[in-house]
Amino acid sequence: MTALPGEEWLYGITPQPSRITAEMYQRLPEEISRAIEIVDGYVVFCEAPSPQHQLAARRLANLIERAVRAETRRAGTCLTVNIDVDLRLRDIPLLNRRPDVILYRCLDDGERLRAEHAQLVIEIVSPTSETTDEVDKLGEYARAGIPHYWIVRLDSTGVSVVERYRLDRATSQYKHVGTAMKDESGSVPALANPIPLTIDWDELAY
């Protein structure tokens, strides 16, 4: 019988033998844990982000961090902004994501970043991550109780769209609360939640 194209590769796929526990994940070297996410105990390999993706994440984080400093002076809150860090959504079965950008309350030394600390999670959509960002993570972050979720889209010049979702705690689902789009008018949307913030498109350009 003649093998179908790609059949040898298909037969070479083997399932992950068992789920990874939180304890096993803790023992992984950092260079491995940084390259994967864990969904229901199973490894999901993260595609290396493009330079544009990384630049957009860093500039978003910088913009939010400036707003955080202003909010800290005004309200005395303690918030932190970070990129590409472990976020523990559930221990059993293990659900561990690495958001592109995350805003969370300050942690004590040695404290693990968990969903209850997070105020805002941002995912930047890439061609291979649309379903994951728009469906899978949308549901996971909502079920974990994270108050705000943004989906960010890029064009050839930088960040061009910010879709904003807010958690409806009665249903544990996100509701779309607005979409900010870069346009020719150069308008800069001013947002109130989760912190006062102005989206300056020029700051988010490549």
Predicted local distance difference test score (pLDDT) of residue 54: 96
- Residues 30 and 11 grouped into a single domain: yes
- Structurally, how many domains does the chain consist of? 2
Q: Is residue 130 part of a domain?
A: yes
Quick: pLDDT tens for 169-204: 999 999 999 999 998 777 889 999 999 999 999 999
- Residues 64 and 127 grouped into a single domain: yes
- End-to-end CA gap in the chain: 53
Quick: pLDDT tens for 61-78: 999 999 999 988 888 889
- Residues 26 and 110 grouped into a single domain: no
Enumerate the H helices of 91-144 as residue ranges.
Answer: 130-131, 137-143
Output phi, psi for 35, to 5 deg: -100, 0
> Residue 25 CA to chain centroid, in angstroms?
19
Tell me the pTM.
0.90
